Amino acid sequence: MRIAYYSPGPELPRRIGLIEGTTIRPIGPTGTTLSIVLFDEDPRSILENWIADASGDPVPLDSVPLLAPIDAQEVWGAGVTYERSKVARQEESEQGGSFYDLVYRAERPELFFKATPSRVVGPGVPIRVRQDTRWCVPEPELTLVLSPKLKVVGYTVGNDVSARDIEGENPLYLPQAKVYDACCGLGPSITLAHAMPPIREVGIRLEIERDGKSVVDESTSLARMARTLEELVDWLGRENRYPEGVFLLTGTGIVPPDDFSLEPGDLVKITVDGIGTLVNPVVRGPLA
Ligand code: DO4
Ligand code: MG
């Protein structure tokens, strides 16, 4: 079962839709929110009830804009959860290298605040390269959609856009490398937990096109993650509550070659098995 936020037309409020093949149809009352689904003890049942009662017609998926599947939730990230990420950080950081090795092996994972909903962009909306970086990469990450009680309600695709030169200069600059306007892509939809393939078999692919040509095409699998999703969620919930639910990006296992940096005009495509492909163009410069 895949759901998404979409815009049914200009001036109309966003709706939650059920994706069925190449169509989407509205479910739930107008004005309902993802928070309402997440608050429910049994999100699957609430959606199944809405589906049973749905009276709106399905429309072709490509005829309506899908929106970022978030409303009031915080977005957090886990880091250095794959060996590839650990090695890349050690290479980019002259003095902080050992911190990454330590955190890769430590019981406590790296968890960081990534974005408020207003800093998140949805499918087709540009992600931004900071104006003060020369080395910026997308990070394709399986993303957990968690209820206020930290139950995994579903999964979406996340892009933890990061400035490698800023975080490499000094690990204390991490928040500036990671958190700024349009620093995070989410979407295109949420696959409910019961409908996902077995998690360790899930593949993640990162494709980047420049001037219509493929310049990056790399894949990994959740089997390569050095931690379990359960332990990441457990640590996320220590000493923090998330009254609206929370998104957790679970770390990147793909890092483009060191001579690669995103440029304006690039197209970033991230595919996660069982969810779909999140596509975002890239911009740099002041916000519109
Ligand atoms: O420590 C830097 C951030 C790591 C990260 O975002 C990742 O591994 O995905
Ligand atoms: Mg990351």
Residue 97 predicted with pLDDT over 80: no
Q: 62: buried, middle or exposed (CB in 10 Å: 19+, 13-18, 0-12)?
A: exposed
Calculate how far, in angstroms, residue 255's C-alpha sits from the geometric centre of ligand 2.
10
Q: Is 92 in the pocket of ligand 1 (CB under 6 A)?
A: no
Type of residue at 211: D
Q: Is 77 in the pocket of ligand 1 (CB under 6 A)?
A: yes
- Residue that is written with structure tokens 């109309």 in the block: 12
| pLDDT 10s digits, 47-65 | 999 999 988 899 999 999 9
Residue 287 predicted with pLDDT over 90: no
Give the position, in ligand 1's atom list, of the atom nearest the Cα of 80.
8
Residue 255 predicted with pLDDT over 90: yes
pTM score? 0.96
Kind plus residue range of the DSSP H or E element containing 46:
helix 43-53
Residue 128 predicted with pLDDT over 80: yes
Question: In the chain, pLDDT over 70 holds for what percent of residues?
Answer: 99
Ligand 1, atom 3: closest residue by C-alpha:
79
Dihedral sign for Cα atoms in the order 212, 218, 220, 226: negative
> What is the band of 280 on the pLDDT scale with cuts at 50, 70, 90?
very high
- Using the CB atoms, write b or e for 94-110: b if 16+ within 10 Å: eebbebbeebbeeeebb
Give the position, in ligand 1's atom list, of the atom nearest the Cα of 174.
2
Q: Is 207 in the pocket of ligand 1 (CB under 6 A)?
A: no
Ligand 1, atom 5: closest residue by C-alpha:
79
Residue 88 predicted with pLDDT over 90: no
| Distance from chain centroid for Cα 103 | 22
- What pLDDT is recorded for position 54? 86
- Residue that is written with structure tokens 């049942």 in the block: 45
Instruction: Establish how many alpha carbons lie within 13 A of residue 240's alpha carbon, considering only the half-sphere containing its beta carbon.
Output: 16
Give the position, in ligand 1's atom list, of the atom nearest the Cα of 171.
1
- What pLDDT is recorded for position 286? 80
Type of residue at 166: I
Q: In the chain, how many H helices and how many E strands?
A: 7, 19
Q: Is 160 in the pocket of ligand 1 (CB under 6 A)?
A: yes
User: How far is the C-alpha of 139 from the C-alpha of 278, rounded, in Å?
Assistant: 12
Residue 178 predicted with pLDDT over 90: yes
State residue 65 phi and psi, 5-degree precision: -75, 130
